[in-house]
Structure 1
Amino acid sequence: MPNALDRTDKALLLALQGNARLTVAQLAESVALTTSPCWRRVKMLEDSGVITGYQAILSPKALGYGVTAFVSIMMASHSQEVARSFEQRLLDIPEIVACHNISGRYDFLLEVVARDLESFGEFAREVLQALPAVKEIYSSFSYKSVKPQRMIPVTG
């Protein structure tokens, strides 16, 4: 990571979070740089791990996913081997769009998309309950996404 992010680095990060498709020329103009120094700064932010990648933001609804569920998982075992096996298996399940190992009553929080409630129920019974060492599953459903874009604050 760079020693400290200056005002220009922060402006670059905010601009790229807002629209990663900006050309270097557009990005440079937005932060009052010429293209070469702008490109070097972005490359430095990538090389240092501040920028970890670029991706398109897809609409679940447009792709036929009408249900977003937040699924809390309690594990029956907390051994490293079981945790690694569980986590590795999650990586292969496309309907799980995010996963966090959390503190509290439950061990993992999953964000899952499904076509409808019936297909989510089938997914929970046939896929989630079959994962290694799952003891308990608790699901909540999203009525609507209030803040769909994941923007990391660029401060300090």
Structure 2
Amino acid sequence: METSPLDTTDRQLLQALQQDARQTVAELATKVALSPSPCWRRVRQLEDAGVIEGYHARLSRKKLGYGVTGFVQLQMNNHTPEVVAAFEREVVALPQVLACHNLSGRYDYLIEAIAPDLEAFSLLVRSKIGSLPGVKEISTSFSLKEVKHAGSLPVA
């Protein structure tokens, strides 16, 4: 799909799938005014092109016992390719880390992580994140309230 732009039907398919990825091909086809076979082919093309990366269930952090969401900003003391690769490999392996972004500006990385409570979050930051390769400085903030969680991307 990188070589050709998305047409109106592709965009409608993507929007419908973001709203409900569990709908049948027949239901999806009805929403985009296609018969099921061409609809299925279009979805497969979007998957093959990497536009659709996967299908996921959104779980409740609270119901699963994760009462704390925190953001950890890290400054690295070493930016060699080996240290950066080791850091990124180890941060990816931490199940409590939901996202990690390499940043421009004062901090090198921003990590979004979860824990059951403040004590567990503190332990995660001090014993795991703080000991990752190349970490020099850590600054932590906590989410007081989630105002928006974008469950879908704009495709219009």
Q: TM-score range by the shorter chain?
A: over 0.9
Unaligned runs of 5+ in 2: none
Name the aligned partner's letter for residue 153 of structure 1.
P
Aligned sequence identity (%) = 55
Give the structure-1-normalised TM-score. 0.96
Alpha-carbon distance in structure 2 between the residues aligned to 1:26 and 1:149? 24
Alpha-carbon distance in structure 1 between the residues aligned to 2:5 and 2:67? 42
**What is aligned with 1:48?**
49
Q: Which runs of 4+ in 1 moved over 3 A?
A: none
**What is aligned with 1:92?**
93
Alpha-carbon distance in structure 2 between the residues aligned to 1:43 and 1:50? 10
- Offset at 1:149? 3.4
Does residue 145 (structure 1) correspond to residue 114 (structure 2)? The answer is no
**Number of residue pairs aligned between Structure 1 and Structure 2:** 155
Unaligned runs of 5+ in 1: none
Give the structure-2-normalised TM-score. 0.96
What is the DSSP-based 3-state SS (H/G/I as helix, E as strand, rest coil) of the residue aligned with 1:120?
A: helix
Does residue 107 (structure 1) correspond to residue 108 (structure 2)? The answer is yes
Deviation digits for residues 6-42 of structure 1, max 9, x if unmatched? 1110010011111111111111111111100100000
Across the aligned residues of Structure 1 and Structure 2, the Cα RMSD in angstroms comes to: 1.0
Alpha-carbon distance in structure 1 between the residues aligned to 2:9 and 2:22? 18
Say which is worse superposed, 44-53 or 145-154, in terms of deviation. 145-154
Alpha-carbon distance in structure 2 between the residues aligned to 1:21 and 1:147? 23
Name the aligned partner's letter for residue 151 of structure 1.
S
Deviation digits for residues 59-104 of structure 1, max 9, x if unmatched? 1101000000011111111111111000000111000011111111
